[in-house]
Amino acid sequence: MASKLLRAVVLGPPGSGKGTVCQRIAESFGLQHLSSGHFLRENIRAKSEVGVLAKQYLERGLLVPDHVITSVMMMELEKKQSQHWLLDGFPRTLVQAEALDRLCELDLVINLNIPFETLKDRLSARWIHPASGRVYNMEFNPPHVHGIDDITGEPLIQREDDKPDAVAARLRKYKDAAKPVIELYKSRGVLHSFSGTETNKIWPYVYTLVSSKIRPVRSKEAD
């Protein structure tokens, strides 16, 4: 098993369970879980230059452009050069993947391939706590009190693009942007795709794959 630092990415559309899978990998293997959404929220809270810029796009319901998200992620990755890490939510486009190439070579790319109907159902039942990014699903992970965040007691919201009418367009947009990224990593032999409708059923296969690259710090049975 290689002693070099592991550089891994989890790709997947909105609602694919990407955040859950990343969290489990991070806990099981001692990797730093680097979420683009988390770093964006931190920059917005800190009113940094890129945070102010990102907020302007998000407030207008637009996707944060490549150069803004890339700038945020490159700053974070520069600080983590001596650690194993796992990227969540980046790269989402070919431009972002090419920027990442200039910094490092990826060892492992996990692609979550979830049926469209499953994603549509999950997203339509999804509510979030805006300040922290905590996600609830009204069907299988509801808050203790309907409409209220478990930790802070603050109200939850449903994002405009999680509402049923917007979901199909959002998933199409993801698919169009992600296709060349998936093809790029497939051509390099680092892409591993996992299909299914339940994260708990996909997880053992993901665990086995990551175990072949890095030694676990805890067993999968602990989850």
pLDDT attached to residue 221: 52
Q: Is 219 annotated as a binding residue?
A: no
Instruction: Give residues with Cβ within 8 angstroms of 2, minimum separation 6.
Output: 213
Catalytic, 18? Answer: yes
pLDDT attached to residue 1: 44
| Ordered per-residue pLDDT tens for the chain, 223 residues | 445 889 999 999 988 999 899 999 999 999 999 999 889 889 999 999 999 998 898 878 777 899 999 999 998 899 998 889 999 999 999 999 999 999 999 999 999 999 998 998 888 888 999 888 898 988 888 999 999 999 999 999 988 878 877 888 888 989 999 999 999 999 999 999 999 999 999 999 999 999 999 999 876 554 4
Q: Is 147 annotated as a binding residue?
A: no
Q: Is 135 annotated as a binding residue?
A: yes
Residue whose entry in the numeric block shows the structure tokens 């050069």: 81
Q: Is 28 annotated as a binding residue?
A: no
Q: Is 51 annotated as a binding residue?
A: no
- Identify the CA nearest to 181 among candidates 191, 167, 196: 191
Q: Is 24 annotated as a binding residue?
A: no
Catalytic, 218? Answer: no
Of the residues 7, 18, 24, 122, which is catalytic? 18
Q: Nearest 10 degrees: CA dihedral of 141, 143, 144, 145?
A: -140
Of the residues 159, 173, 213, 220, which is catalytic? 159
At position 32, the amino acid (one-letter code) is: Q
Catalytic, 24? Answer: no
pLDDT attached to residue 81: 87
pLDDT attached to residue 223: 45
Q: Is 15 annotated as a binding residue?
A: yes
Q: Is 30 annotated as a binding residue?
A: no
Of the residues 7, 24, 92, 122, which is catalytic? 92
- Report the Cα 149 to chain-centroid distance in Å: 21
Prediction pTM value: 0.84
Round to whole Å and give the CA distance between 44 and 51. Answer: 4
Structural element, H or E, at residue 29? helix 18-29
Q: What are phi and psi of 82, to 5 degrees?
A: -100, 15
pLDDT attached to residue 62: 76
Of the residues 7, 24, 122, 126, which is catalytic? 126
Q: Is 62 annotated as a binding residue?
A: yes
CA angle 220, 36, 65 (to 5 degrees): 150
